[in-house]
Amino acid sequence: MSTYKQKSIETLFKKHGVNDPDQKDKILRELTEVVYDYNMLVVKAEKEGDKYVQKQIAEDIQETENRISEIFDDVLKK
C-alpha cells in the first residue's frame, strides 16, 4: 500500500504560501499537468501489488514532487 496521498492544487498553494491571484494564475499554467501526473502515480502505487514496481513508482512520485517544488520556486522568484 502506498504511503503517498493525492494532492489538490489549492493544498499546494497553501503549503507554499501562495495567496496572490496573479501568482496563482502563473503557477497554475505550469502546475496543472504535473499535479495530475502526481495524482495518477499515487493511484498507480495504490493499485500495484509488486513491491519492486511500487519502489519504482515511489521514485517517480518523488521526482514529481521535486518538479512541483521547482515550479513554485521558479515562479515565486520572478
**Each residue of 34-72: pLDDT tens digit?**
999 999 999 999 999 999 999 999 999 999 999 999 999
* Per-residue pLDDT at 76: 82
Q: How many domains does the chain have?
A: 1
Q: Cα–Cα distance between 73 and 12 in angstroms, integer? A: 12
Residue 13 domain flag: yes
**Each residue of 3-38: pLDDT tens digit?**
899 999 999 999 999 999 999 998 998 999 999 999
Predicted model pTM: 0.89
Query: What domain range includes position 55?
Result: 9-77
CB-based contacts of 78, cutoff 8 Å, min separation 6: 26
Residue 18 domain flag: yes
